[in-house]
Structures are given as C-alpha cells and as structure tokens.
C-alpha cells in the first residue's frame, strides 16, 4: 500500500475513542467515537454500543451511562440553538428514547441501583447579561471562563416521571457518587474564606435532602462506591499539591490504605461488587492497569502503553482504552485475558506509517532519567535537524503514548527528542518534588544532558540545527532555554510563562500553584524574578515564535505578550500568533481548523529556521498556502 505523507490535517483522518462503559452484567459495552470534521470545523461524536457481534449507533451523542440492569442508557446531546445540554433516556431493546432533562451545564450522570433514579451533576451561575461578580478567588478558570458565583448543582431525577425529586448545591468543583441509596459528594475545603482547590476536601453524605459531613480538610476525594465501601483517591493530608495520589478504602468506620506502598502515583480507580479495586499507575513513561484482589496485585495491562480510561462491570470484566507510541487508543476487553475489540485506525496507520520510539537512559546530576527519540528517514551520509519537545506540568510525563506532533515532525524529517526531567510524573514522590522552587535550574540541566546523550547515540543528528518547543511548562522551558543556552537555533513557545509574579496574580491557579512551584511571599521572594525568562530577554539570539490562545486562563495571554513586546523592543527576531479562541489545552481541545493552523505554524516555522535558514516569517503566505490534505 502506498504511504501518504503526514501534514497539518492528518489528525482529521483518525478516529478518537473516549468514555468507555460496560454494563453491570458485563454483556454490553459503549463508548464515544469522535471524528474531526475540518470542513464544518466541528467534532462529530457518536455513541457506539457493542453486544456480542452486534454494533449499534446513536449519533450526535456523548456521555453513555448504562442502567444497572443493562436495559436502558442515558446520554447527553448538545442543543446548539438553545445553548443547553439535553439528557436522554434510551431503551436499548427498541432503541427509542425520550428527553428527561435539559440544563445549561451537565458534567456527569450516574444511575442508582433501583434502575430508576439518576444523579445528575452540573453547575449554575448568575448569568447576568451585563456583568459578572464574585467575592472568591480565583474569578475564572481555564476552559470555564468567569465563575460568576458558580455553584455545583446536584439533581436526583426520576427517569420515568421525568421529575426532579431532589436538588441541592455545593461549592464549585464538587462531585458526587451513589453509595447505596445515599449520595456521597466531595467539595473543596474552605479555609480563611478561600477554597483549597485540589489540595483539601470535605466529604459529605446526603440522605433525604439532609447532608452530614464525613471528613473535613482531608486530601482525598470519594471516587467510587459499590454500596458497601467507598474508594478514596488522594492522601490523608497533603502539604504540597505536587504530592502523589494513592487509593484508600473507607468501610464506614476507618480508612485503610491500599496502594501507597507501591510508590507510583495512581490516576484512576474503580470497584467491582466484591470490593476488588482496579486502578491505573503512572510509571516511567507508562500508564498501566492493575487489579487489587485483597493483597494480590494482578496485572491487566503492564507493557509499554498508556491506559487512558477504563470501566468495570459488577463481576470484574474490564473495558479499557489503550494506546502505544505508534497506535492511537483502541478498545480492549479484559476477562482474565486481554482482547482487542476495535481497530478503527488500523487502515489509516497502514497508509500513514508511525515511527516507534527509541528509549535511552542517562545520568544527570546524580539521577538516572528516561529519554526517548524518534528517528526520521535520513539518506546515508546526511544529517537531520533536531526538535526537542518539553512536556507540560512540570508534573507531566512523556512515554509510550501516541503524540501527534512528535510523529508529524519526525515524518517531516526531524529527530524529535523528549525526556522526563526531575519534577515529572511516573517516578517516586521525591522525584516529583525536586523541581519545587527550582524551576528552570536542575530540570533544565536534565533536558540539556538528555540532548547531549542523544547526540552520542545518533551521529546523524545535526548539532547545529536544534530547535525546542513545548506548551505550558514546556512553553516556559522554551522561553528559558532561549535565554540560557546557545545550542537552540529556533524555538516555538506555546501558552508558556515569562514572568512568574504576574502569573501568580493573574492565573486561575497562580495563588497556589505558583507559590508551590516558585515559592511563598511572591512580592518579596527573589525567585519570582530570578526564575522568570523575561529578565533574561537580552540573551536571546535565536528566532522565537510565540503561540498563545486568547481564552487561556491557566497561563494567561499577558505572559506571551510581555515577552514578545520586550524581545521586539530589543531588536530580537520574534513573532506572535494569538488564536482568538481556545483554552490552555488548545493543542487537543480547540476546533479542527484551529488545530490545523497550529500544526501548520509548527511545520513552517521550523522548516524556515532549521532547514531553509530563511529570514522573516511570512504569515500571509503560510495561511494562504493550499491545504496539503486536499491532495490526499
């Protein structure tokens, strides 16, 4: 089969699976299948229901939730005209349904064991047409915009009468689960009038409209229940938000630790009817899945891959999404053995060959670290340019998953190199905390040492043509790299940080995240200047393209505009591209055309700076350039 060249719109050819669900009896599976429609500039989602050899579809739908008896399903559908979300009930025998609720913001749905009542979680705001008002901090949040007095709303809905039987509110970012016929919900703890988001929680139990506090100021949240015990995720009490999360069981009397002795952080967890625990663990570039049966640890997926989502039936069958470095996520079923259920992207990868990762270990400042690279096709006797990618976080992680940009640029003729410096996830907790109040110091040296080791391994890599790029913490590190090293000949900084003080005061999480990463007393602490790329702008010698999305409240636009203005005022070669929409995670969450243009910028800038050595960057020519995908 003839291979097709990768380009900025290749991502539209792939199918993306999410939200896998399995019925309580383990007989039915559902998931959401999403395709990017570049022409209409939208994502089209379909719920797929699999039972035996039969496959059924519900178009324009998401959030599938089986009733406990497996006979019905709820799902949501966006009403674009009314700007609301509609909740539907479907009979799975007749495949007919009805709308049972319409609300502006629905976040989650879960069934009660009676096969009749559902718990719907959403949120409400003031929604005044002229102003927003708040008396708490922060006033906004990434991908949510201004809070405007936001409160989490819980509805208990009778699916037969379509009546709301109960409605109550809690602090924003609260979430709930059924525990038998009662509801357990977790809310951010409030101390000194400020919500301790992502660090301290209060856990309540609600019955007949009355709420009782079970835990106060703890660092774990109620994640799942089988009606007998509750699975908790987090820690008893965190000092730092960067600490690892583990799993615990609460039996109504005491909390028992389950996984903290396993060292590595747990990302998801679920229970079956017998109380067995299923969980994912981030370890050295992998996200693997395990079952904990008593004290016996049973591997379900333990290889070079990422398990991104999973669900468990009452009797312990597991449906999961698994991806590797060369394959996008596909659906698997585990029932003692692992079986692949879907292969949506196999025909596409037959045309677009994905290149495998090359793993290497290296020493950096007394630590052994993990690095990877993808090697392009290089004619014998020639050398290829290099692009260093830096992950977000700093508690992010590179490893064995499919990252589109890495494959795209490798197929464009670049070595793509990436490492997990100190501060990354996937290692012990001490490793994750090493970066605190030292961001840009030893972690940057870890990246440089990784690049140096890579050059030892690949003599065809051109040391004189090295670029660097990243988003968020990776954007900060790109800014930092160009102000603290001469080995990089071009950089693309996305949604990054240039000045920690304004980030602390302006970002949605700055009041706690920046104080943890950079240090307390921001107005006096020298770290807020010392660790800010802005104050080293005079050192920049390489051309820099800055990309930012206007609706990013995590690393707000001021970070890029300040750095850009200063660089231009100093006569440096700098460019800025501001997307008018898109939150912090715009690389994956933005509209298809937005993503396509972002990929095009990535391709064209490095093409001009690391291959053609061109001066300037003609955006008019780039945006008008015919989409290569039309040729395919």
Q: Which of 142, 207, 226, 245 is nearest to 582 (CA)?
A: 142
Are 344 and 15 a contacting pair, CB within 8 Å?
A: yes
Which pLDDT value is given to residue 353? Answer: 84
pLDDT at position 625 is 63
Question: How many domains, the chain?
Answer: 1
In a domain, 618, yes or no: yes
> Whole-angstrom Cα distance, residue 23 to residue 317?
10
Phi, psi (rounded to 5 degrees) for 630? -65, -20
Q: Which residue, chain included where needed, has tokens 């679920």?
A: 270
Determine the pLDDT at residue 629.
43
Q: Judge whether 265 lies within some domain.
A: no
CA dist., res. 187 & res. 204, Å (int): 8
Strands 490-494 and 544-549: what pairing? parallel
Q: What is the C-alpha separation between 236 and 483, in angstroms, rounded? A: 41
pLDDT given for residue 4 in this prediction: 78
Is 445 inside a domain boundary?
yes
pLDDT at 630: 44
What span, in angstroms and rounded, lies between the C-alpha atoms of 262 and 164?
43
**367 located within any domain:** yes
Q: Say what the alpha-carbon torsion angle 498, 500, 503, 505 is, to the nearest 10 degrees.
A: -150
The predicted-structure confidence for 347-404, as pLDDT tens digits, reads as follows 999 988 899 999 999 999 999 999 999 999 999 999 999 999 999 999 999 999 999 9
Please answer whether residues 118 and 89 qualify as being in contact, where contact means their C-beta atoms are separated by less than 8 angstroms: no
Kindly provide the b/e burial profile for residues 500-516, where b requires at least 16 CB atoms within 10 angstroms of the residue's own CB: bbbbbebbbbbbbbbbb
pTM: 0.96
Comparing CA positions, the residue from 565, 540, 561 lying closest to residue 489 is: 540
Q: pLDDT, tens digit, for every residue of 258-310?
A: 999 999 999 999 999 999 999 999 999 999 999 999 999 999 999 999 999 99
Give the bridge partners for 280, in sequence order: 289
Averages of pLDDT over each 10 residues, the chain, 632 residues: 83 97 98 97 97 94 98 96 94 94 96 98 95 93 94 97 96 97 96 88 93 97 98 97 98 96 96 97 98 96 98 97 97 97 94 94 97 96 97 97 96 98 98 98 98 98 98 98 98 98 97 97 98 98 97 96 98 97 92 96 97 90 61 44
Structure tokens of 476?
């900060």
Q: Hey, what are 288's tokens?
A: 């693997």
- Is residue 497 a part of any domain in this protein? yes
Q: Which residue has the tokens 């229901």?
A: 49
Residues 269/273/274/280 CA torsion (nearest 10 deg):
-10
Is residue 52 a part of any domain in this protein? no
Q: 467, 386 in Cβ contact below 8 A?
A: yes
| Cα maximum dimension of the chain | 76
Tokens of 368: 């052994």
User: Does residue 572 lie within any of the structural domains?
Assistant: yes
Residue 613 host element (H or E): none
d(CA 35, CA 13): 8
- Joined together, the tokens standing for residue 134 give 């708040």
| CATH number (domain holding residue 403) | 3.40.50.1820
211 found inside a domain: no
**What domain range is 458 assigned to?**
362-631
pLDDT score at 193: 78
The two tokens of residue 444 are 């940057």
Burial (CB < 10 A; 0-12, 13-18, 19+), residue 250, is: buried
């Amino acid at each position: 089969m003839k291979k097709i060249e990768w380009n900025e719109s290749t991502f539209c050819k792939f199918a993306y699976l999410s939200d896998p669900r399995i019925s309580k009896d383990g007989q039915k599976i559902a998931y959401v299948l999403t395709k990017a429609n570049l022409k209409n500039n939208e994502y089209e989602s379909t719920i797929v229901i699999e039972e035996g050899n039969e496959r059924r579809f519900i178009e324009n739908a998401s959030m599938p939730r089986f009733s406990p008896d497996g006979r019905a399903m709820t799902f949501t559908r966006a009403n674009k005209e009314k700007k609301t979300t509609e909740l539907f009930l479907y009979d799975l025998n007749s495949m007919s349904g009805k709308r049972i609720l319409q609300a502006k913001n629905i976040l989650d749905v879960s069934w009660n064991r009676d096969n009749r009542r559902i718990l719907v979680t959403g949120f409400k705001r003031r929604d005044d047409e002229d102003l927003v008002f708040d008396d708490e901090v922060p006033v906004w949040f990434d991908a949510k915009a201004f809070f405007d007095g936001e409160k989490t709303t819980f509805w208990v809905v009778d699916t037969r009468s379509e009546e709301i039987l109960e409605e109550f509110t809690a602090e924003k970012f609260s979430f709930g689960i059924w525990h038998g016929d009662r509801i357990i919900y977790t809310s951010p703890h409030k101390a000194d009038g400020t919500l301790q988001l992502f660090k301290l929680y209060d856990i309540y139990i609600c019955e007949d409209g009355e709420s009782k506090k079970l835990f106060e100021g703890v660092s774990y949240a109620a994640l799942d229940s089988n009606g007998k015990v509750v699975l908790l995720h987090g820690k008893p009490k965190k000092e730092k938000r960067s600490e690892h999360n583990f799993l615990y069981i609460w039996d109504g009397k005491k909390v028992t630790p389950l996984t903290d002795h396993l060292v590595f952080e747990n990302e998801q967890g679920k229970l079956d009817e017998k109380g067995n625990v299923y969980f994912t663990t981030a370890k050295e570039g992998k996200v693997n899945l395990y079952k904990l049966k008593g004290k016996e640890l049973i591997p379900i997926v333990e290889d070079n891959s990422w398990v991104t989502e999973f669900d468990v039936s009452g009797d312990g069958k597991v449906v999961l999404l698994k991806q590797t470095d060369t394959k996008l996520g596909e659906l698997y079923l585990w029932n003692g053995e692992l079986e692949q259920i879907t292969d949506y992207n196999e025909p596409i990868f037959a045309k677009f060959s994905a290149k495998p990762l090359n793993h290497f270990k290296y020493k950096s400042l007394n630590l052994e670290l993990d690095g990877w690279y993808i090697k392009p096709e290089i004619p014998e006797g020639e050398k290829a340019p290099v692009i260093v990618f830096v992950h977000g976080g700093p508690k992010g992680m590179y490893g064995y998953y499919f990252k589109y940009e890495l494959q795209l640029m490798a197929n464009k003729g670049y070595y793509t190199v990436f490492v997990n410096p100190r501060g990354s996830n996937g290692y012990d907790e001490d490793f994750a905390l090493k970066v605190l109040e030292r961001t840009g110091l030893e972690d940057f040296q870890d990246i440089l040492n990784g690049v140096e080791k890579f050059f030892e391994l690949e003599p065809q890599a051109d040391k004189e043509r090295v670029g660097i790029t990243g988003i968020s913490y990776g954007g900060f590190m790109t800014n930092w790299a160009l102000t603290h090293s001469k080995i990089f000949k071009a950089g693309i900084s996305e949604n990054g940080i240039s000045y920690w003080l304004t980030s602390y005061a302006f970002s949605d999480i700055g009041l706690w995240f920046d104080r943890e990463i950079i240090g307390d007393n921001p107005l006096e602490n020298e770290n807020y200047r010392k660790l800010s790329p802005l104050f080293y702008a005079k050192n920049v010698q390489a051309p820099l393209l800055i990309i930012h999305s206007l609706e990013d409240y995590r690393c707000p636009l001021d970070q890029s505009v300040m750095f850009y203005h200063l660089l231009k005022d100093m006569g440096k070669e700098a460019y800025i591209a501001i997307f008018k929409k898109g939150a912090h995670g715009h690389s994956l969450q933005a509209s298809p055309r937005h993503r396509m243009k972002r990929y095009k910028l990535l391709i064209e800038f490095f093409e001009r700076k690391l291959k053609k050595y061109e001066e300037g960057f003609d955006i008019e020519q780039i945006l008008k350039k015919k989409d290569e995908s039309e040729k395919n």
